[in-house]
């Protein structure tokens, strides 16, 4: 009841990409059989009785669709998903809309100037915020690797070249500034990686996860305007998981 009262008069926006058997996972760039699949265990519905039950078994990698990277995704001695606390996963959100810049340059990196421009429009990035880069790539999510990952000449079944991807991401300078100067607790993006497609050394992952923050990838930010919001991020509560599929909701006034 308390949650219902708190959300009265608010607009709720689902920032999650739906999971289907075709849903993108970075693990599929390296391994077979890691995309989402389901198998019926039993189904007694419609067998001549008033009601029945239906159960399925799911199988997928831990990074299918919208998901959180824990610090343990990159560093063996750091926290995994079950150690992320509810106060970390719910908080002030910052949506930085650079979709126009990304439409003009698919290799665009979020800059310090972009963040300072956001602060000029909306005020300082709050301490312990979750800062999300809106690139416009969310609308490409279900279009396949040629569009979403920017792999030129890709055809179904081709191996995805790790040096042939073109999509936007955070610059290292922007990520470092958010961690060191604004003390954010996490960052997010509507592409397949927080690092730009050509950043094969993953400097943003190293900086953010190495600073004991979390990351959200493959978000759906299409309905969110540039500006502040509240973000609620609920990963599956799996022990020892480096990453986890996550339902993300934005709350707008």
pLDDT of residue 48: 78
pLDDT at 7 (0 to 100)? 74
Closest by alpha carbon to 228, among 101, 94, 71? 94
Adjacent-strand bridge partners of 58: 38
Does 240 have pLDDT greater than 50?
yes
pLDDT tens digits, one per residue of 29-59: 778 889 999 999 999 988 777 788 999 999 9
What distance in Å separates the CA atoms of residue 132 and residue 3, rounded to the nearest whole number? 24
Cβ pair 245, 235 in contact under 8 A: yes
- Asked if residues 96 and 110 have their Cβ atoms less than 8 Å apart, the reply is yes
Percentage of the chain lying above the pLDDT 70 cut: 96
Whether 219 and 132 have beta carbons less than 8 Å apart is answered as: yes
pLDDT tens-digit readout, 59-104 = 999 999 999 999 999 999 999 999 999 999 999 999 999 999 999 9
The token pair that represents 179 in the structure block: 């961690």
Beta partners for 232?
A: 90, 249
pLDDT of residue 157: 66
Whole-structure pTM value: 0.93
Q: What is the pLDDT of residue 176?
A: 98
Above 60 in pLDDT, residue 4? no
Which carries the bigger pLDDT value, residue 253 or residue 30? 253
- The tokens for 216 are 């959200």
pLDDT of 1 above 50: no
Structure tokens belonging to residue 160? 């995805």
3-state per-residue secondary structure call for the chain: CHHHHHCCCCEEEECCCCCCCCCCCHHHHCCCCCCCEEEEEEECCCCCCCCCCEEEEEECCCCCCCEEECHHHCCCCCCCHHHCCHHHHEEEEEEEECHHHHHHCCCCEECHHHHHHHHHHHCCCCCCCEEEEECCHHHHHHHCHHHHCCCCCCCCCCCCCCCCCCCCEECHHHHHHHHHHCCCCEEEECCCCCECCCCCCCHHHHHHHHCCCEEEECCCCCCCCCEEEEEEEEECCCCCCCEEEEEEEEEEC
Q: What pLDDT does 27 receive?
A: 82
59 token code pair: 């199988």
**What average pLDDT does the chain have?**
93
The larger pLDDT score, comparing residue 27 to residue 148, is at: 148
pLDDT tens-digit map of 138-169: 999 999 878 899 988 777 666 777 778 999 99
Predicted confidence at residue 2, as pLDDT, reads 41
- Reported as half-sphere exposure (CB side, CA atoms, 13 A), residue 250 has a value of 24
What is the pLDDT, as a whole number, of residue 152?
84
Residue 64: closest CA among 17, 30, 32: 17
């Amino acid at each position: 009841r308390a949650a219902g009262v708190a959300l009265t008069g608010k607009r709720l926006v689902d920032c999650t990409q739906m999971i289907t058997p075709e849903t993108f996972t970075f693990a599929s760039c390296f391994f077979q059989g890691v995309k989402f699949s389901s198998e019926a265990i039993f189904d007694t519905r419609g067998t001549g009785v008033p009601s029945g039950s239906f159960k399925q078994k799911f199988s997928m990698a831990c990074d299918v669709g919208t998901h959180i990277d824990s610090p343990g995704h990159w560093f063996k001695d750091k926290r995994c998903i079950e150690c992320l606390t509810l106060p970390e996963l719910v908080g002030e959100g910052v949506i930085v809309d650079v979709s126009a810049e990304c439409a003009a340059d698919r290799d665009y990196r979020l800059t310090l100037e972009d963040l300072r421009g956001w602060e000029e429009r909306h005020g300082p990035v709050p301490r312990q915020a979750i800062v999300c880069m809106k690139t416009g790539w969310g609308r490409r999510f279900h279009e396949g690797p040629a569009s979403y990952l920017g792999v030129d000449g890709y055809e179904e079944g081709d191996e995805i070249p790790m040096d042939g991807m073109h999509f936007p991401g955070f610059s290292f300078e922007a990520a470092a500034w958010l961690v060191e100067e604004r003390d954010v607790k996490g960052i997010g993006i509507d592409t397949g990686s927080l690092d730009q497609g050509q950043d094969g050394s993953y400097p943003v992952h190293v900086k953010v996860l190495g600073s004991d923050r979390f990351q959200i990838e493959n978000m759906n930010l299409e309905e969110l305007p540039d500006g502040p919001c509240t973000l609620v991020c609920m990963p599956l509560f799996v022990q020892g998981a480096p990453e986890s599929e996550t339902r993300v909701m934005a709350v707008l006034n």
